[in-house]
Amino acid sequence: NIGHFNDPVHGGSWLRGAIYYFKIAVALAVAAIPEGLPAVITTCLALGTRRMAKKNAIVRSLPSVETLGCTSVICSDKTGTLTTNQMSVCRMFIFNKADGHDISVEQYEITGSTYEPKGDVMVNGQKFNCSDRSGLVELAECAALCNDSALDYNETKRIFEKVGEATETALTVLVEKMNVFNTDKSRLSPQEMAMSSNTIIRQKYRKEFTLEFSRDRKSMSSYVVTAGRGASNSQQSAKMFVKGAPESVVDRCTHIRIGTQKVPMTPQIRQEIMKLVHQYGTGRDTLRCLALGCIDNPMKREEMDLDDARKFITYETNITFVGVVGMLDPPRTEVIDAIQRCRDAGIRVIMITGDNKNTAEAIC
């Protein structure tokens, strides 16, 4: 309408004509937008937010909803996300004979699936006294000392709770159930019962330092010293307890423990260990396995470079295999339905874990 800005009706003034048509444009713009539109939009957004909140979906940033709508792959951690992270040892085995091709393994089942330190070690459905097997005593020592976690009794909730990692707490509970020193726990309070057997073992040995777990070697170890009261340094005996992924620990084992004796590791024995580990990891319960071992004559502390984690694997050699424990970490009940809904929506779910490959595949 620029050509009409100087019409005679505007007095021939370009400025008055421009102002006139500007007022008309503003009036049309205001009239075209309904007055109730902002209120309607706000109401719709509020109703949508309430419906999402009922489904436990609270949105802090609207762009995140758009991002979720574009998602085609979800990568999820396993432990604590897809599983309950309340681990418990339910099976274990040690060797009781290895003479050439004549190899005999003793397998045990452990009752109880919570952090409560009450349960029995069973063999063929019969309760077994773990103090009758020196191999089980050493396994308990390794589980207690190669461990930085503890068990605590919550008086308010009246339940036993973990202090530290779930994996190590499961080993702590196992030591209490094994009760290798036949401690009378009938008169102990829940607080005393939580760590009674572990305390005895930790009084027997003094932990000097720990070689922390690393992804490359898939193991960790504790350097301990045993000595009586008033013993001199020359009378102290050093020992290392090792725990980690079976495939990693077994590869560095040169012997196995049978009773109080050490027997050289052979390909047949190594094959038997890994066969049982595979059975534990792919069975009905899909157990997470840990191998336990010890080093009877470790390097001296002053010979180790504890500041360089890359050298830890060279210190964890000449291991004597003691046994394997299988831990149950049950999946969350809602996981199956959640994964199925993701698949129905065209979303691919990927599980990320540091567990054994067979165990991870069995869970999937």
Contacts of 266 (CB under 8 A, 6+ apart): 98
* φ, ψ for residue 302, nearest 5 deg: -70, -15
In 3D space, the residue among 324, 11, 10 whose CA is nearest the CA of residue 142 turns out to be 324
Residue pair 196/140 in contact (Cβ under 8 Å)? The answer is no
Tell me whether residue 251 is one of the annotated catalytic residues.
no
DSSP for residue 83: B
CA-to-CA dists, residue 300 to 40, 151, 223, 308, angstroms: 77, 32, 10, 16
> Catalytic residue among 77, 216, 251, 305, which?
77
Token output for 211:
């070689």
Find, among 152, 318, 127, the residue nearest to 221 by Cα: 318
Residue 93: strand, helix, or coil: strand
> Cβ contacts of residue 96 below 8 Å, gap of 6+?
104, 105, 106, 133, 135, 258, 259
Give the Cα-Cα-Cα angle 42, 46, 51 (nearest 5 degrees).
150
**Sequential DSSP letters for 303-357:** GS-TT-GGGHHHHS-SEEEEEEEEEE-PBPTTHHHHHHHHHHTT-EEEEE--S-H
Per-residue CA distances from 228 to 140, 160, 236, 260, 297 (Å): 20, 33, 8, 21, 19
Residue 54 has phi, psi (to 5 degrees) of: -65, -25
Strand partners, 292: 243, 323
Structural element, H or E, at residue 295: strand 288-295
With contact defined as beta carbons under 8 Å apart, do 20 and 10 qualify? Answer: yes
Cβ-count burial of 26 within 10 angstroms (0-12 exposed, 13-18 middle, 19+ buried)?
Answer: exposed
Active site residues: 77
